[in-house]
Amino acid sequence: MKISLGEKLKTLRKEKNISQEKLASFLEVSYQAISKWENDVTCPDIFLLPEIARFFNITVDELLQVEKIDEAKLYAEYEARSAEFYENGHKEEALAVWQEAYKRMPNNVEVKEMLMSMYYDVDKVKYREDAIALAIDIWNSTDHGYYRGQAISLLVSAYLDSGNRELAKDLIQKAAPIFCSRSILWTRIDEGEELIYEDGFCVHWFLEEMYYLACSLIEKSGKDTRYAQSLFKAISEIYETLYLNDDMSYETMKKLAYMHINIALDEIQTDKNDFAICQHIKRSVDLAEKSVQIKEHYLTAPMVAGWKVTASPSDKLQIARMIRRKMESTDFDALRTKDWFVQEEARLFQLF
């Protein structure tokens, strides 16, 4: 239980069997001043705190009873709380978790980066200035290149969203080229388990970026449906090659299922190949089934080994709901009498 500074001083003095006069002599103050401190009438001058701490052979933090925080342990607790909210679609609650974490650990770069990202993810207009302020703080720090990279990425997006294209260009010029990044360069030095982890880290994020690049190309290129279908086919094949036996995170599985159901949708608008449509719908339903069974573990497949996968969120049906919404759209009306479509719908609905 935390006590007052006066009570702390009195306790320390009595533990060492030291008189008020002796402490006063050391600090070059009157013994009456010591008495006032111990009775919480007045407080020591801030400049005397190091001298008082030195006299009792303790730190200023111990004198002031500043709580010692195991930041790594505390961060892990906040991360777990946030993930439970975020993975179940409760982003505002996840943001509140990181706002609380920031109050307790205002100098922790991991907390800053998570709060910065959550601001932009929850509402990039409402929280733009908050996100930018944190991003600039991280960018101006000397912390790990990963966090500075995340900061500059958000700043570029924020300035583009607000129409400041020239400032975004200037920032891009300051970013490290992808193959000269710190994470890539560490793979030249690391060995053993450290190398395996660093490699898994790089590949995981490369795959994430490939997916988002494909989505951006589909949205901005102006190409036809067949082009979009070819992109998702290529990315989904890479995912399935590297994540052997569908051993992947829930979020990665969600992306893969999204690609397959959209490939099926694109097939309806292009070649109308029943077999191809069936295979991609079946694949998306397979992934929905597997997504509810993911346990926390580390991946072991080559290139992604060492990457930690968390268990399926408590709301395990996010992928199933996404696929059901797609299959219930009018785009699939022509397939509703087909036996295979009825079977896949039934298999999907059994998850609910």
**Phi/psi of residue 28, nearest 5 degrees:** 60, 45
The predicted pLDDT at position 153 comes to 92
- Average pLDDT of span 199-212: 92
Q: Pull the structure tokens for residue 50.
A: 């190091």
More confident residue, 222 or 233: 233
Out of 61-65, 119-123, 242-246, 320-324, least confident range: 61-65
Amino acid at 278: C
The predicted pLDDT at position 252 comes to 96
- Average pLDDT of span 11-15: 90
In the chain, CATH 1.25.40 covers: 71-175
- Average pLDDT of span 156-169: 93
- Average pLDDT of span 273-299: 96
1: confidence class by pLDDT, cuts 50, 70, 90: low
d(CA 190, CA 171): 30
Closest CA to 167 of 157, 178, 159: 159
More confident residue, 288 or 148: 288
The predicted pLDDT at position 184 comes to 87
- Average pLDDT of span 248-268: 97
> What is the architecture, at CATH level 2, of domain 71-175?
Alpha Horseshoe (1.25)
**Whole-number percent of the chain with pLDDT over 70:** 98
**DSSP 8-class letter at 118:** H
What pLDDT, in 10s, does the model give residues 116-139? 999 999 999 999 999 999 999 999
At residue 260's C-alpha, the angle toward residues 256 and 265, to 5°, is 145
Contact between 196 and 306 (Cβ < 8 Å): yes
Write out the DSSP string of 268-307: HHTT--HHHHHHHHHHHHHHHHHHTT--SEE--STTTTT-
pTM for the whole structure: 0.75
Contact between 288 and 318 (Cβ < 8 Å): no
Contact between 316 and 291 (Cβ < 8 Å): yes
d(CA 117, CA 340): 42
306: confidence class by pLDDT, cuts 50, 70, 90: confident
Q: Is 96 helix (H, G, I), strand (E, B) or coil?
A: helix
**Phi/psi of residue 297, nearest 5 degrees:** -170, 175
Pick the CATH number of 5-64 from 1.20.140.10, 1.10.260.40, 3.40.50.1000, 3.40.50.300: 1.10.260.40
What pLDDT, in 10s, does the model give residues 40-93? 999 999 999 999 999 888 888 888 887 666 788 899 999 999 998 998 889 999
Out of 122-131, 174-183, 192-201, 301-310, least confident range: 174-183
Per-chain mean pLDDT for the chain: 92
Asked whether the predicted pLDDT for residue 203 surpasses 70, the reply is yes
146: confidence class by pLDDT, cuts 50, 70, 90: confident
Closest CA to 303 of 240, 212, 233, 232: 240
d(CA 33, CA 42): 8
The predicted pLDDT at position 307 comes to 87
| Neighbouring residues of 86: CB distance < 8 A, sequence distance ≥ 6 | 94
In the chain, CATH 1.10.260.40 covers: 5-64
Out of 169-183, 225-239, 255-269, 302-316, least confident range: 169-183
332: confidence class by pLDDT, cuts 50, 70, 90: very high
Handedness of CA 199, 204, 205, 210 (dihedral sign): positive
| Neighbouring residues of 140: CB distance < 8 A, sequence distance ≥ 6 | none
142: confidence class by pLDDT, cuts 50, 70, 90: low
d(CA 323, CA 261): 7
Using a 10 angstrom Cβ sphere, with 0-12 exposed, 13-18 middle and 19 or more buried, the burial of residue 92 is: exposed
At residue 162's C-alpha, the angle toward residues 160 and 166, to 5°, is 50
192: alpha, beta or left? (left if phi > 0; alpha if psi -120 to 50): left
Using a 10 angstrom Cβ sphere, with 0-12 exposed, 13-18 middle and 19 or more buried, the burial of residue 211 is: buried
At residue 157's C-alpha, the angle toward residues 218 and 263, to 5°, is 20
The predicted pLDDT at position 228 comes to 94
The predicted pLDDT at position 340 comes to 96
Q: Where are the alpha helices (DSSP H) in the chain?
A: 5-15, 20-27, 31-38, 49-55, 60-64, 71-87, 91-104, 109-123, 128-139, 145-161, 165-174, 182-189, 192-220, 225-242, 250-269, 274-291, 318-327, 339-349
